[in-house]
């Protein structure tokens, strides 16, 4: 449709906690099949509509780690050729790849000292898997605070997507259909607000007509209806029957995505699909905004706090435990000249376990998955004890000399 000022950025978020693809195949083969096929479809449909489709797909580092594992590749081969699937993503340059933290942490709940490594490793494995680095960032669970901005800039990100309900423009106009510049401690990044209401429809099931009607109504009611309107919708890409539907004509890609793109190709659709990098190059932010600390709405929570992940006493204790172990790691890291081979290896083991323990899934399910967090923190604590003992011993020996 010529003359439209409505642009649509559609995103899908993909994540599995450590070891989950293997566990699913052993414990629930049908669910494993449903999920692995969710990862295969976006690239296939993007290549089918290469000239028009502009989807965004984000992968956590730990999910890609599993998809690159030769054992997982072999065990899923009867369902999906994973290397071919990843090659299709690399070929589909109309897909904008989106980065996350490597282990999908709730960034405001983990120590800031761990942010850089989670970000850098998450970005690096996407480049390794697909041959190009992501320019945009998706905060896991959309959990964001402004003090994350300098770390994102250091990691090389140009923009991030945030839940629109948390965006506070400096001009006071509640307009989530345009990008903003957010700055903290001397660093600035572009923020793109997500439309929570329409994204809820994307998550649960909609059709092209519904999306067009809702987008047009929302844009018309926005503070600047005559300006370019960026409708950003984002959801999980492998959760819920809508995405896991193995009868493709009844699921997201067959029932919505293909007809949606066909309407765009035919020229009778009011939304233009865009990649955010391209859109932001043409429409850079002109105003600033603060982003209120918060997450997206999951379960019965509003996302105004982190109660889904730290609402119970045991969840908060687990968060504190991980923070304490991270602090011990950094204290020993700063004294690493006092470590020998055994202590250095123990410290490296502890580091890997602490970062893995920061996986959001271990907190998401109330207290139910906390044992999985402790499976990482308990050996991490033993490894830190070993490194600490060696450090103290070598320091004492040096003083004795």
Q: Is the pLDDT score of 123 beyond 80? A: yes
Q: Does 112 lie in the same domain as 250? A: yes
What six digits make up the tokens of 368? Answer: 């139910």
Closest CA to 149 of 358, 291, 345, 24: 291
Q: Is the pLDDT score of 21 beyond 90? A: yes
CA distance 271 to 52: 12
CA distance 366 to 61: 23
Q: Does 356 lie in the same domain as 286? A: no
Q: Does 332 lie in the same domain as 287? A: no
Asked, for residue 105, whether it belongs to a domain, the answer is: yes
CB-CB neighbours of 312 under 10 Å: 14
Indicate which CATH number applies to the domain containing 278: 3.20.110.20
Q: Does 344 lie in the same domain as 256? A: no
Q: Does 185 lie in the same domain as 92? A: yes
Task: Tell me what percent of the residues of the chain surpass a pLDDT of 70.
Answer: 96
pLDDT band at 302 (very low <50, low <70, confident <90, very high): low
Asked, for residue 59, whether it belongs to a domain, the answer is: yes
Question: What pLDDT score was predicted for residue 140?
Answer: 96
Asked, for residue 146, whether it belongs to a domain, the answer is: yes
Q: Does 317 lie in the same domain as 213? A: no
Task: Tell me what percent of the residues of the chain surpass a pLDDT of 90.
Answer: 90
Asked, for residue 170, whether it belongs to a domain, the answer is: yes
Range of the structural domain that residue 173 is part of: 6-291
The total number of structural domains in the chain stands at: 2
Percent of residues in the chain assigned helix, strand, coil, to nearest 5: 55, 15, 30
56/302: higher pLDDT:
56
Q: Is the pLDDT score of 191 beyond 80? A: yes
Q: Does 223 lie in the same domain as 85? A: yes
For residue 233, give Cα distances in angstroms to 6, 161, 265, 267, 308: 13, 10, 20, 21, 22
- pLDDT tens string 58-102: 999 999 999 999 999 999 999 999 999 999 999 999 999 999 999
Asked, for residue 316, whether it belongs to a domain, the answer is: yes
Q: Does 285 lie in the same domain as 321? A: no
Q: Does 318 lie in the same domain as 286? A: no
Q: Does 324 lie in the same domain as 217? A: no
What six digits make up the tokens of 238? Answer: 């492998």
Asked, for residue 298, whether it belongs to a domain, the answer is: no
Last residue of a domain, one of 256, 291, 326: 291
Q: Does 351 lie in the same domain as 284? A: no
- pLDDT tens string 150-178: 999 999 999 999 999 999 999 999 999 99
Across residues 366-395, what is the average pLDDT? Answer: 92
Question: What pLDDT score was predicted for residue 72?
Answer: 98
What's the whole-number average pLDDT of the chain? 95
Question: What pLDDT score was predicted for residue 392?
Answer: 75
Asked, for residue 56, whether it belongs to a domain, the answer is: yes
Question: What pLDDT score was predicted for residue 1?
Answer: 47
CA distance 308 to 361: 10
Q: Does 161 lie in the same domain as 30? A: yes
The answer for 192, left when phi > 0, alpha when psi is -120 to 50, beta otherwise, is beta
Asked, for residue 120, whether it belongs to a domain, the answer is: yes
Residue 253 DSSP symbol: I
CA distance 29 to 21: 10
Q: Is the pLDDT score of 2 beyond 70? A: no
Report pTM. Answer: 0.95
């Amino acid at each position: 449709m010529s003359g439209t000022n409505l642009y649509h950025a559609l995103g899908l978020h993909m994540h599995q906690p450590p070891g989950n693809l293997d566990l699913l195949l052993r414990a629930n083969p049908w669910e494993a099949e449903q999920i692995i096929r969710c990862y295969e479809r976006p690239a296939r449909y993007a290549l089918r509509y290469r000239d028009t489709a502009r989807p965004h797909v984000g992968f956590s580092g730990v999910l890609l780690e599993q998809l690159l594992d030769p054992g997982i590749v072999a065990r899923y081969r009867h369902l999906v050729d994973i290397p071919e699937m990843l090659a299709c993503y690399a070929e589909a340059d109309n897909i904008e790849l989106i980065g996350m933290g490597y282990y999908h942490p709730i960034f405001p709940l983990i120590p800031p000292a761990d942010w850089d490594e989670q970000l850098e490793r998450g970005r690096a494995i996407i480049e390794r898997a697909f041959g190009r680095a992501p320019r945009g960032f998706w905060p896991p669970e959309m959990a964001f605070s402004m003090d994350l901005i300098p770390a994102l800039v250091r990691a090389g990100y140009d923009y991030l997507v945030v839940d629109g309900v948390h965006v506070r423009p400096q001009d006071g106009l509640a307009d989530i259909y345009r990008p903003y510049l957010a700055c903290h401690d001397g660093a600035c990044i572009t923020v793109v607000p997500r439309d929570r209401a329409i994204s809820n429809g994307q998550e649960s099931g909609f059709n092209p007509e519904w999306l067009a009607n809702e987008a047009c109504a929302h844009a018309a009611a926005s503070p600047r209806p005559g300006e370019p309107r960026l409708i950003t919708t984002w959801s999980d890409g492998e959760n819920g029957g809508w995405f896991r539907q193995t009868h493709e004509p009844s699921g997201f890609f067959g029932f919505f995505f293909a007809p949606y793109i066909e309407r765009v190709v035919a020229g009778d659709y009011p939304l233009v699909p865009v990649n955010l990098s391209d859109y932001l190059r043409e429409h850079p932010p002109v105003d600033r905004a603060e982003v209120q600390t918060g997450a997206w709405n999951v379960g019965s929570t509003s996302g105004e706090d982190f109660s889904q992940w730290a609402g119970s006493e045991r969840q908060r204790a687990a968060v504190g435990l991980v923070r304490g172990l991270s602090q011990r790691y950094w204290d020993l890291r700063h004294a690493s000249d006092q470590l020998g081979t055994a202590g250095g290896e123990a410290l490296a083991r502890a580091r890997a376990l602490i970062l893995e323990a920061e996986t959001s899934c271990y907190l998401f399910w109330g207290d139910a998955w906390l044992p999985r967090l402790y499976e990482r923190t308990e050996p991490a604590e033993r490894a830190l004890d070993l490194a600490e003992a060696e450090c103290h011993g070598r320091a004492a020996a040096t003083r004795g000399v």
